Amino acid sequence: MMNSEWRERKKLYTILGIFTLISILYLNFSDSLFSFSSFPYLWQPKMDFAGVNRTRFVILKDEGGGVEEFYINGWNSYWLMAESVWGESRQRVSEILERGAAMGLSVCRTWAFSDGPAAGPNALQLHPGVFNERAFQGLDYVVAEARRHRIRLILSLVNNLEAYGGTTQYVRWAQEAGVNVSSSSDFFFTNPTIKDYYKSYVKAVVTRKNSLSRIRYSDEPAIFAWELINEPRCTSSSCASDLQAWITEMAAFIKSLDHKHLVTIGLEGFYGQKTRKNLGVNPGEWTTSLGLDFIQNSATKNIDFASVHAYPHSWIPGANLTRRINFLSRWVDSHINDGENVLKKPVLFTEVGFPLGLQQGGSSERDTLLRIVYDRIYESAKKRRAGAGALYWQLLVEGMGKQYGDRFSLVAWQHPSTLKLITEQSFRLQNASYQSQTNTNLSHVSAKTP
């Protein structure tokens, strides 16, 4: 009888314990619409923050206080947040992160913006400072799932292009609010109201607490860096000083919110009039009217590393393969040299894109051009110079080409030669990182925790 009574009490205690645990979880997580889907992300794999040490990226080791040099082979998939808004499409996000990790890729660059009607029904920012919580939870999923696969993210905060809203949407919002601005997107860089719109958005993203992992973005080591803007350009060269002032202001603003993460601009890498000796490296004279200066812009305080893009097919249309090879070789070499000798910062080629194209004999023009970038990055890594890595534009999974594809997009596993090239580069850079592991003096390391 006593045994039977004890068993009943034990059952009751067990039920009460489970009920208490559920109540505690609910009280702690109900503000984020807590669901059992959060469970896999409440215990995340350990990751350390990234930093820079002179011209190299490093991983700041919590244990022992040392640093480990880090060379990047990565990719772009701009669509991750868009595909994470609804549960049924999240599998594509998980698949590309899993596939990227299997290819040895370490960093993925993606959009952390989606502004206004142009972004469609799943826009993240509906009006200035007004957000779609479901879309925000989609970004939460991207960040949490990236960490689960040990992938680091570069999150871009606004588009200079009109896709997904961009700077023109911010100007439009200001016009609708009665602000005296024309439709020129240059006002994005100068108008105080528009700059406040952008700062409000940045603060909402950087300080957000992830609804799945419960980790603030500012405390999340799976975020590698914040990118101020994708491919900034002025519509007039007279805007150059305004753009420079904007970069200075916004980089400092992000650092005031988040001292743990790196910040980059999002430049394409065009040289300006102030560095005339490099103008011949540009793909054409048209670049000098865009208000950009790779050296001056990238030298800005609080910009931790320089960003560069490479699109020889788009920038020099009609050129033959030989001319593209010559341009690309000089483009990559020039920026690595300037990172090493002038900026003294790492240089990351955050978009490199080439269409498939076939050469005589059936080999891929894409592979030829990608190999040029990869070989130069690897040679730089072996010498511990400023060429810190490259991100391919862009990777998709099957069935996404119509919605998100362009002529540079790639389902890598459908192209064995390119897949082999990407995977081998990952292995080479991992080996270079291993060879250069060091307990470097931390006085030169930035974006570290205090």
According to DSSP H, which parts of 207-234 are helical? none
Is 145 catalytic? The answer is no
According to DSSP H, which parts of 65-220 are helical? 90-102, 133-148, 166-176, 192-206
Count Cβ atoms below 10 Å from residue 126 Cβ, excluding itself: 15
Q: Which strand (E) or helix (H) includes residue 425?
A: helix 416-435
DSSP character string of 162-184: STTSHHHHHHHHHHHTT----S-
Residue 139, both tokens: 């970004």
Q: Which strand (E) or helix (H) includes residue 380?
A: helix 365-382
| Nearest Cα residue to 123 out of 86, 80, 82, 171 | 82
Query: What are the distances in angstroms from CA 446 to CA 50, 263, 305, 388?
Result: 9, 10, 11, 16
Helix, strand, coil % in the chain, rounded to nearest 5: 50, 15, 35
410 phi and psi angles, rounded to 5 deg: -150, 130
Q: Which of 227, 231, 268, 340 is catalytic?
A: 231
Q: Terminal CA-to-CA distance of the chain, rounded, Å?
A: 62
Q: Which strand (E) or helix (H) includes residue 321?
A: helix 321-338
| Nearest Cα residue to 251 out of 289, 298, 296, 317 | 298
Cis peptide before 394 (omega within 30 of 0): yes
Write the burial class of residue 285 (CB in 10 Å: 0-12 exposed, 13-18 middle, 19+ buried).
Answer: exposed
Q: How many Å apart are CA 416 and CA 421, to the nearest integer?
A: 9
Q: Which of 351, 379, 398, 424 is catalytic?
A: 351
Is 351 catalytic? The answer is yes
| Residues tagged active-site | 231, 351
